[in-house]
Amino acid sequence: MSTSAAAAASSTTSLSATRRSSLSPASRVPATLRRSLPSRLVSSSRSPVVQPVHATASPGGAGGTAAKKKLLIFDAEEYLAESLAKYTARLSGEAVAERGAFTVALSGGSLIKALRKLAEAPYLEAVEWSKWHVFWVDERVVPKDHADSNYKLAMDGLLSKVLIPASQIYAINDALSAEGAANEYETCLKQLVKDGVIAISEVTGFPKLDLMLLGMGPDGHVASLFPGHPIVNENKKWVSYIKDSPKPPPERITFTFPLVNSSAHIALVVTGAGKAGAVHKAFSDKQSSSDLLPVEMVSQQEGVLTWFTDKPAVSMLSSI
């Protein structure tokens, strides 16, 4: 169900008159998308513009509350990466100014490539990397140098290129079992809450990381929260584990939905035609709490859930 235009405008970044004048004309958006997504933006400029876009209310979500969704569509992955870097750097600056630290959780997959611009000018010099505290939304229980390790992926693609103190990069203990690694990771988070590094959500009582960066699989899974798996219903633990992942490797730890949804900001980075079906379902008005995909259970408790997408990923939205 759609919220009012006023709600959408109040939940997103406003534009200056100068920035508004740089928007691509509506004719550059496919006609089918214009009909179904009347207020979405597709920017073809070098620096994609973020403006109020289509906002909908989700009927479900692990927290039981409605969530506003902001959908950004980009002509090319390069533009998406530029906008994601700007978005992340802005949130970093705001968190550091307010609390003296920036807590961010990374996923695996193509997300790390999408974050590559952070290791380039102007962000490489402008971001206060020494204030970052980096976590993983989920991790495969494999050695850190294993090809399946999300830690290795992030280190190779981003973290080794920026100056974040090693003590503020929180990898799992790969010497433990999946259950042991999950328990230890939750203990680590609890200590950081006690130390004042991580805030607590006044709404949910769960840790409130500054930014949760998520990808999505073609089946609609996020983190290691897979469709139909009992772990999607976990509502007490901060970090849990699975030993029977439907995609290899089988053993993983993962943040639970209450922790994911308590974040101050959530970004979902979803590209490619293979994701179009899940995106279509996530934005459909015809939803039922009995068959929600995990991505539909990402329900921002305080604020707006921002989707960073490309045209192939939203190619089925014209039928909404």
pLDDT in tens, the chain (320 residues): 433 333 333 333 322 333 333 333 222 334 444 333 333 333 333 444 443 233 333 444 444 444 578 899 999 899 999 999 999 999 999 999 999 999 999 999 999 999 999 999 999 999 999 999 999 999 999 999 999 999 999 999 999 999 999 999 999 999 999 999 999 999 999 999 999 999 999 999 999 999 999 999 999 999 999 999 999 999 999 999 999 999 999 999 999 999 999 999 999 999 999 999 999 999 887 766 678 999 999 988 787 799 999 999 999 997 43
128 close to 92: Cβ distance less than 8 angstroms: yes
What the block records as the tokens of 28 is 């550059």
> Across 77-140, where does the E strand assignment appear?
102-106, 132-136, 138-140
CA angle 14–15–17, rounded 5-degree value: 140
**CATH placement of domain 68-314:** 3.40.50.1360
Contacts of 197 (CB under 8 A, 6+ apart): 101, 103, 133
Report pLDDT for 67.
57
80 close to 267: Cβ distance less than 8 angstroms: no
Look at residues 92, 174, 83 and name the one whose alpha carbon lies nearest to residue 136: 174
Contacts of 70 (CB under 8 A, 6+ apart): 8, 11, 12, 53, 54, 55, 304, 305, 306, 307
The span from the CA of 276 to the CA of 273, in Å, is: 5
Report pLDDT for 62.
42
The pTM assigned to this predicted structure is: 0.81
222 close to 231: Cβ distance less than 8 angstroms: no
Report pLDDT for 288.
66
Q: Determine how many CB atoms are found less than 10 A away from the CB of residue 303.
A: 14
